[in-house]
Structure 1
Amino acid sequence: MVHRVFNAWDGLNGEIGKQIDAQAPCPISGEHASIVLCDRDRYGYPLRTVISQATGLVYTDPRADDDSIDDFYRTTYRRFYKSASKPKWKHTARNAYIAGQRVEMIKTLAAKGAAVLDIGTGSGELLYVGRRNGLDMQGIEVDQAYAQFGRRSYGVKIINESLRNAVLPEQHFDIVTIFHVLEHLSDPQAALAKVSAILKPGGYVLIEVPNVDSLDAQFHQKWHPGHLFHFNCSTLSALATVCGLETLSVHTCQRRNVVGATLTKPFLPTKATWQALVADNFENTLQLLQCQAKQNWHTNWYERLGRARQKLKRNLCEWTISLSEGNRRKLVDKVTRNQAT
């Protein structure tokens, strides 16, 4: 059952394909004109998802208030969806592997001693691996149990607060990372504007979000109730521009299910406009999603079978290495050491 915080829609103005004025404006354009894409989440519960006619950004409308969303992620999210108040051992192994990859990415942009802030740091593996590589790492994690776990297990610096409420020094960080967090936030425009404010001129932002254009998931599986915004390459770049950031690169992964971007805070204000970045994006995204909505369950069955095999293989590897080590810090060390060889 979906948590009550996502039951914000009263069921009105939910006819699929209908043009409406969304309650919340598009955070890129500030306009309300939109088309209803879907009236249910992936579990079949009421959730209205719209696409902005000005930009092609897809988002949940209406949404719960900011405090309710923050409270949900502070106390409930991981227990509700992952049935755990601290990461499972296999998740520590997975997080360690991903942290190793991300630290290598960070090192291509900054020298040792660089101040790095990881927003939504979870249980802190990235902070630990980054610190071990000579970076001045700090994290923000709204979940109380996970923040405490990271501090206790790895001795890392974690601010236990939402990004919205966290007090952070302006123009302080060389790099800010925000991996698979922006889509959960109630106001991504305010979030990226705050990131821009705390970043040094010439600093970088590394960001990843799910890709709404992905062909990897069926249409009705895209609408996770906790994902309030659904970006693609165009809308992520446009939002960055609105917040005073410049997109150096934007890309999708092999199966196009994730959008990754490297942003920078220019020394002088950028002259780019969001309108140029989302030209034709509404029409293209709407057409793609409408085509996906008509596909049946066996479309791309071969690719889905391949993903299932990969997931099984990954789980077996994670459990195998997890069973070989009974200390979290030593497990992270072992995974990253094996990764480097």
Structure 2
Amino acid sequence: MTISRVQLKMQCDSNPVRQGSDRTLETRPTTCSCCGSDISREIARGRDYIYQASDVYLSLVTCERCEHIYLNPQPTISSLPVMYPSNYGTFSSKFRGGYNLLAVIKNKVNFRRFKAVAGVLAKGMRILDVGCGNGELLRALATVRPDLELYGLDWHFPATTREELEAVGIHLVEGTLEDAALPENFFDRILMYQLVEHLWEPRIGLAKLATTLRPGGVIAIETPDTDGYDRHLFPKGTWGGYYVPRHLNLYNFERLAKLLGETGFEIVHQKSLPAPVIWCYSLQAALQERYGPKTWTARLFDLQNIAALAGFTLLDMAAIGIGLKSSNQQTVARKPVSD
């Protein structure tokens, strides 16, 4: 389902993002976004365990032809305010602020990962952060490299966020990736952290990014990995990578590499990354299924629990060290240079 920019603006104007009293989650059947097949089988069912904006259980299915995992039926555009309520992580200021330890750690981790994949950045290079949320990474880049041209794309920017980002020279594009107006052969680096899984039309979105990336330019993608060793510990839909109802399409290394190859990229490398957030989400969901949605025990794995995040990070690092795949993957690809 492609969402037009006009539709999105009308939706936001008439029904602004909120933790609404209307918990309706309108859905519609869909087909596999990788191969187009309409034959699938259910592998799990889950609901919104994290924000509890809806009680509706949705099905995770796997395509019988190509094994792609996706949400079916999927929420429609009218459900955006329920999918992304006002306290949604990238809208909220919950983890922001220079004295917030979690924000400091998160910023340092993201910045280190960016430097590892960005390579040498010449003066004036253009960087696009797709799904930039509140722009934490872009603000960090603007501080250390004011000579770069920084752009952020997301479907909605609260007024305060827009004001803060534009004040430090960051250019904002508001709308869905599928329909955003992006110039051809323009960007040198594109970041897509925890975003591709949110797309209704990932093939259209990635093809657009291949068009807007300059030849030889690099894209870095981070997304859940359905081959993560811990996914099968949470078989009933509570695995944090499912993140119902927001994660619409999910990948492993092979399926993501195939999709990128089909949309104009060539793979540079793929690797597993620690996934402490997914561990916390999985345990919150499992506890809610066992003890009810209002159980206090789920708060033991709140994302502000630094000890839990650190412990799961060390666990995943050990697992990766012995050859297992975690529930978070990084894929770096580039746009080929024409002969």
Partner deviation per Cα, 1:220-271 (whole Å, 9 max, x = no partner): 32232111111111111111112121111111125312111011111359xx
- Whether the 8 Å contact between 2:118 and 2:218 is mirrored in structure 1 is no
Out of 36, 47, 51, the position equivalent to 2:42 is 36
Count matched residues: 252
Partner deviation per Cα, 1:291-330 (whole Å, 9 max, x = no partner): xxxxxxxxxxxxxxxxxxxxxxxxxxxxxxxxxxxxxxxx
Between 1:78-87 and 1:214-223, the stretch displaced more is 78-87
Residue 258 in structure 1 maps to residue 328 in structure 2: yes
Q: Post-superposition shift, 1:83?
A: 10
- 2:90 and 2:263 map into 1 onto residues whose CA distance is 36
Which segments of 5 or more consecutive residues in structure 1 lack a partner in the other structure? 10-22, 270-341
Task: Give the match for residue 322 of structure 2.
Answer: none
Residue 228 in structure 1 maps to residue 237 in structure 2: no
- Give the direction of change, closer, same or farther, for the CA distance of 1:159–1:58 in structure 2 (3 Å limit): same
Residue 267 of structure 1 aligns to a residue whose secondary structure is coil
Q: Which amino acid aligns with 1:244?
A: G
Task: Give the match for residue 142 of structure 1.
Answer: 155
- 1:240 and 1:39 map into 2 onto residues whose CA distance is 28
Out of 39, 57, 61, the position equivalent to 2:72 is 61
- Whether the 8 Å contact between 1:5 and 1:72 is mirrored in structure 2 is no
Which segments of 5 or more consecutive residues in structure 2 lack a partner in the other structure? 1-18, 50-54, 275-315, 317-325
Between 1:89-98 and 1:120-129, the stretch displaced more is 89-98
Residue 27 in structure 1 maps to residue 33 in structure 2: yes
Alignment of 1:57-206 (within 5 A): 57-65=68-76, 67-68=77-78, 71-72=80-81, 77=84, 79-82=86-89, 85-88=92-95, 89=97, 90=100, 92-108=103-119, 110-131=121-142, 132-133=144-145, 134-145=147-158, 147-148=161-162, 150-151=164-165, 154-206=168-220
- Which 4+ residue blocks in structure 1 deviate beyond 6 angstroms? none
- Give the direction of change, closer, same or farther, for the CA distance of 1:45–1:173 in structure 2 (3 Å limit): same
Residue 79 of structure 1 aligns to a residue whose secondary structure is coil
Q: Post-superposition shift, 1:82?
A: 4.3
TM-score for the superposition, normalised by structure 2: 0.66
Q: Post-superposition shift, 1:138?
A: 1.0
Task: Give the match for residue 257 of structure 2.
Answer: 237
Give the fraction of aligned pairs with identical amino acids, expressed as a percent: 24
RMSD: 2.9
- Whether the 8 Å contact between 1:169 and 1:198 is mirrored in structure 2 is yes
Q: Which amino acid aligns with 1:72?
A: P
- Give the direction of change, closer, same or farther, for the CA distance of 1:39–1:103 in structure 2 (3 Å limit): closer
Residue 123 of structure 2 aligns to a residue whose secondary structure is coil
Rg larger in structure: 1
- 1:159 and 1:118 map into 2 onto residues whose CA distance is 10
- Whether the 8 Å contact between 2:62 and 2:68 is mirrored in structure 1 is yes
